[in-house]
Structure 1
Amino acid sequence: MGKAGLKIVTIGGGSSYTPELVEGFIKRFEELPVKELWLVDIEEGKEKLQIVGDLSKRMIEKAGLPIKVHTTLDRKEALKDADFVTTQFRVGFLEARALDEKIPLKYGVIGQETNGPGGLFKALRTIPVVLEIVGEMEELCPNAWLINFTNPAGMVTEAVLRHSRFKKVIGLCNVPIGITMRIAKELGVEPSDVHVDFAGLNHMVFGLHVYVKGEERTKEVLELMGTEEGATVKNIQELAWEPDFLKGLGIIPCPYHRYYYQTSKMYEEEREASINKGVRAEVVKELERELFQKYQDVRLDTKPKELESRGGAYYSDAACRLIDSIYNDRGDIQTVNTRNDGAISSLPDESAVETNCRITKEGAIPVPVGELPISIRGLVQQIKSFEVLTVDAAVTGDYHTALVAMTINPLVPSDTAAKDILDEMLEAHRDYLPQFN
């Protein structure tokens, strides 16, 4: 990493999240001297890339900082000699997400972006593209770090670790930060006073202990979650938790656990929403349209507050914090997706896990957890099996591997349902699944 300043490349630069990323770099400029920010997209995203690029330039100009913003459709040009690469793209755009959400509903199964059949198909579309990017990084910027927050972040990290020689990859999700912020709000304390021992998988992560200024407050938080709607994120229906279940569980579930512990309720909520206001992808499409209208206003030179409605609040700020900690060798604790290396003894060493890590110039060093509690161990292991098979199917294009992955997912009720959903979704997404064609 050159002393003259950092070169950062964002693939999916035309994303509505990019202004938050730019804001994060502006806030940290003294400690994180970004010299060049390259925003990369594809031909279909050219217009949005231009809009976001112009807003980014206005934000940096207002801050009076010497950061040069480049927008390009040439990924290889951007990657050359990069220090950090962030990924935040969606293969197939929101139209593909809408199919992921709608098709399973026809079969009585939850359709969701990163869980169940929807998560499987997002991985099948995304992983080949990420591995292609990693191949280019090995050639053009072999010393760069890949900071991935393209979903499904855990499976993407798993794919890079298992199916490439590139090891400088860390996956990132905003769920642990969102939970921590919500706990702080409920307890009436500052987020910096709250520490949560997170462990598990992406969108399958649990808070094993909650501390406020060093004092354990886990039971109190569980009681609050049982009386209120609890910590959630914008794209998940807030359903109250059963207080006695939380008491028995004894640890903090994440919002995505509602799909597994409240399956029938969540299915009904999704089915009803799809009829009355559309699936989440259709809601997001309208939010995006409004955001980009704002972004085009030449008087706008800050990140608009409405971006938090998009469902990814804190994502980009988390990425900036992670990059800052690697660059400055801070050794602080952050929750990221990385190679297990024995931290969670309930899972294979080579697996990608989402857990608390010490962040240094060497990357993410997982904090040892030991065995997961028996109450969650089986579910986490089942989801890891689903993830590994999904990754294998994405890489090989093997139909039967994809079918087994679909069938063992807890949200899919039978092998016949799995096959029906798989066949329809393979046909619906065939343009983005060349490995299966």
Structure 2
Amino acid sequence: MRIAFIGAGSIFTPLGLYTIATSETLSNAEVYLVEIDDDRRRFVTALAEKIGKTFRAGFKVTPLKEAEELEKYGLDYAVISVEKERYERWRLDFEIPHRHGIKQVLGENGGLGGLAHTLRVVPLVLGIARRIEDINRDAAVFIYSNPEPRVTYAVLNYTGLRNVYGLCTGYLERKEMLAPLLKVDEREINFTAAGLNHFTWIRELWVRGEDAYPRLKEALERKPEFEPLSQLLYRAYGLFPSPDDNHIGEYLSFAWPLVPDEKKGLKWIERTKREGEEVRKLLRLFLRGLVPKFAFNRFVKFPDVAMNVVEGLEGAEKLQEAINIPNRGYIDLPEGTVVEVPARVSPKGVKPLRVRLPRETLVPLKVQAEIQRLSSEGAAEGNVEKVVKAVLLDPVVHDAEAGLRAMAELMKAHLDALPQFDEGDVEVVERTIRA
């Protein structure tokens, strides 16, 4: 097995390495760590070697600077987790629309910030995906880069890669949030959920194999302050959403006043950055031998999602509770939309499961499905007309002129990271306002 982590300096890579090291199926894999930043590449290489030695794994580690170097080795699996100046640009994605009065909760995956994010990341990932295509178009490619379903849509529709899957830890985070409410360990919770990434509906919920919805209902009645937006949706539609208020809130026009201040905007961006730094601090301590093996084991509650799927493809069948794939009747949304559904994974492949949802729960998802298509295609094609349409469809855009002015400003601010656009495209957005 040849497994490449592209953007290996990402916070996802150490968990992937740990999962490989502790897996009977994967522990002898050849692992390629592709990272353009020299310091991060050296760090993750040392970390990989430490993890291999600590857990007595037989995997071989090869550090690489560019994805093109993989051609020398070949590959079977690739994990893409890349960004450019993530936090600096994320702040702009939130602040610029906010100055125009657009109350987007996070500005990462939805709203105008999510659109600007899409325009930046899609060409970055497409460049990598095309290099993988030249090496092995049958390789399984897993995408962690946000906005994950939009990026996945672009790779599926603008390359010849045949096995592309978007992955996210959101469903695991939902378990962690529900565990204290239900007074159980998060590993005892299972659910069937479907929808779009960062906005799914939990169709069935179990604790130790028993229906846990009655238990959840009682727990929520005792804690009305717990996730006000999710509770509102649950009372209205009868299904609890996932992963949490601020992620769901990116796609809803009425979310802003319901999401607590500490979970939105710049406070959330800073918290996310701080949490990443804390994880890296722990990893540095582990590298120095100051975090023992048993403590590292306790820190990792769930296997890496990508490597969990690879285990299923290479070994015994397993259920993957959330995977992002193009819709083929798995949910009542347009064909080809990248949807998040459960799937059975085995050496025969990934077999998504059909999940039926009440029709009214699908309405906000249908709007986002169209925005997903327009934003992905606009980013891949450099099509500014599709970008304008995506702006005007977005539920968080309360005013057309404000939305278009904000989008023009966002494109100007990020133009150095938008190779598919130029100043003339920004003028197209501005002319739409004047007209």
Task: Decide which of 37, 51, 58 is 1:59's aligned counterpart.
Answer: 51
Once the two structures are superposed, what CA deviation does each residue of 1:251-278 show, in whole Å capped at 9, x if it has no partner? 01121223427523267827x976xxx4
Whether 2:415 is the aligned partner of 1:430: answer: yes
In structure 2, the partner of 1:334 is: 321
Code of the residue aligned with 1:299 in structure 2: it is: R
SS class of match (1:335): strand
In structure 2, the partner of 1:235 is: none
Tell me, yes or no, if the aligned pair for 1:145 and 1:169 is still in contact at 8 Å. yes
Pair 1:242–1:73, CA change in 2 (3 A)? closer
Whether 2:234 is the aligned partner of 1:249: answer: no
Task: Decide which of 205, 212, 215 is 2:200's aligned counterpart.
Answer: 205
Question: 1:248: how far off?
Answer: 2.6
Paired-residue identity, %: 24
In structure 2, the partner of 1:86 is: 79
Pair 1:228–1:34, CA change in 2 (3 A)? farther
In structure 2, the partner of 1:357 is: 343
Tell me, yes or no, if the aligned pair for 1:226 and 1:241 is still in contact at 8 Å. no
In structure 2, the partner of 1:408 is: 393
Once the two structures are superposed, what CA deviation does each residue of 1:397-425 show, in whole Å capped at 9, x if it has no partner? 12221111022111111221221111111
Question: 1:434: how far off?
Answer: 0.8
Tell me, yes or no, if the aligned pair for 2:33 and 2:63 is still in contact at 8 Å. yes
SS class of match (2:333): coil
Question: 1:112: how far off?
Answer: 2.1
In structure 1, the partner of 2:144 is: 149
Task: Decide which of 180, 183, 186 is 1:188's aligned counterpart.
Answer: 183
Question: 1:85: how far off?
Answer: 0.3
Task: Decide which of 173, 182, 185 is 1:178's aligned counterpart.
Answer: 173
1:109-120 aligned within 5 A = 109=102, 110=104, 111-120=106-115
SS class of match (1:132): helix
Whether 2:13 is the aligned partner of 1:11: answer: no
Question: d(CA) in 2 for partners of 1:366 and 1:250?
Answer: 24
Task: Decide which of 249, 252, 260 is 1:258's aligned counterpart.
Answer: 249
In structure 2, the partner of 1:216 is: 211
Code of the residue aligned with 1:142 in structure 2: it is: R
In structure 2, the partner of 1:37 is: 31
Question: d(CA) in 2 for partners of 1:229 and 1:300?
Answer: 44
SS class of match (2:191): strand
In structure 1, the partner of 2:425 is: none
Tell me, yes or no, if the aligned pair for 1:98 and 1:280 is still in contact at 8 Å. no
Whether 2:325 is the aligned partner of 1:325: answer: no
Question: 1:246: how far off?
Answer: 2.3
Task: Decide which of 334, 343, 352 is 1:348's aligned counterpart.
Answer: 334
Considering only aligned residues, what root-mean-square deviation do their CA atoms show, in Å?
3.0
Pair 1:420–1:267, CA change in 2 (3 A)? farther
Whether 2:148 is the aligned partner of 1:159: answer: no
Question: 1:325: how far off?
Answer: 1.0
Tell me, yes or no, if the aligned pair for 1:407 and 1:413 is still in contact at 8 Å. no
Question: d(CA) in 2 for partners of 1:428 and 1:315?
Answer: 38
Give the number of aligned pairs: 413
Pair 1:360–1:99, CA change in 2 (3 A)? same
Task: Decide which of 147, 156, 164 is 1:169's aligned counterpart.
Answer: 164
Tell me, yes or no, if the aligned pair for 2:231 and 2:240 is still in contact at 8 Å. no
Pair 1:162–1:327, CA change in 2 (3 A)? same
Question: 1:142: how far off?
Answer: 2.5
Question: d(CA) in 2 for partners of 1:334 and 1:419?
Answer: 38
Question: d(CA) in 2 for partners of 1:229 and 1:107?
Answer: 32
Once the two structures are superposed, what CA deviation does each residue of 1:12-55 show, in whole Å capped at 9, x if it has no partner? 10123322221111121x1223432111122xx22122122212
More deviation in 378-387 or 135-144? 135-144
Tell me, yes or no, if the aligned pair for 2:93 and 2:107 is still in contact at 8 Å. yes
In structure 1, the partner of 2:89 is: 96
Question: d(CA) in 2 for partners of 1:75 and 1:148?
Answer: 15
Task: Decide which of 35, 41, 48 is 1:49's aligned counterpart.
Answer: 41
In structure 1, the partner of 2:261 is: 269
Code of the residue aligned with 1:221 in structure 2: it is: L
Tell me, yes or no, if the aligned pair for 1:35 and 1:66 is still in contact at 8 Å. yes
SS class of match (1:355): strand
Tell me, yes or no, if the aligned pair for 2:382 and 2:421 is still in contact at 8 Å. yes
Question: d(CA) in 2 for partners of 1:107 and 1:114?
Answer: 19
SS class of match (2:228): coil
Task: Decide which of 104, 119, 129 is 2:124's aligned counterpart.
Answer: 129
Question: 1:355: how far off?
Answer: 0.7
Once the two structures are superposed, what CA deviation does each residue of 1:353-390 show, in whole Å capped at 9, x if it has no partner? 001111123432221124x3133211000011111000
Question: 1:321: how far off?
Answer: 1.1
Code of the residue aligned with 1:37 in structure 2: it is: V
Question: d(CA) in 2 for partners of 1:97 and 1:318?
Answer: 25
Tell me, yes or no, if the aligned pair for 2:192 and 2:203 is still in contact at 8 Å. yes
Tell me, yes or no, if the aligned pair for 1:116 and 1:409 is still in contact at 8 Å. yes
SS class of match (1:138): helix
In structure 2, the partner of 1:108 is: 101
Pair 1:361–1:409, CA change in 2 (3 A)? farther
SS class of match (2:29): strand
Q: TM-score, normalised by structure 2?
A: 0.85
In structure 2, the partner of 1:233 is: none
SS class of match (1:356): strand
Pair 1:356–1:94, CA change in 2 (3 A)? same
Pair 1:225–1:70, CA change in 2 (3 A)? farther
Pair 1:203–1:21, CA change in 2 (3 A)? same
Code of the residue aligned with 1:72 in structure 2: it is: L
Pair 1:303–1:169, CA change in 2 (3 A)? farther
Task: Decide which of 135, 140, 146 is 2:135's aligned counterpart.
Answer: 140
SS class of match (2:84): coil
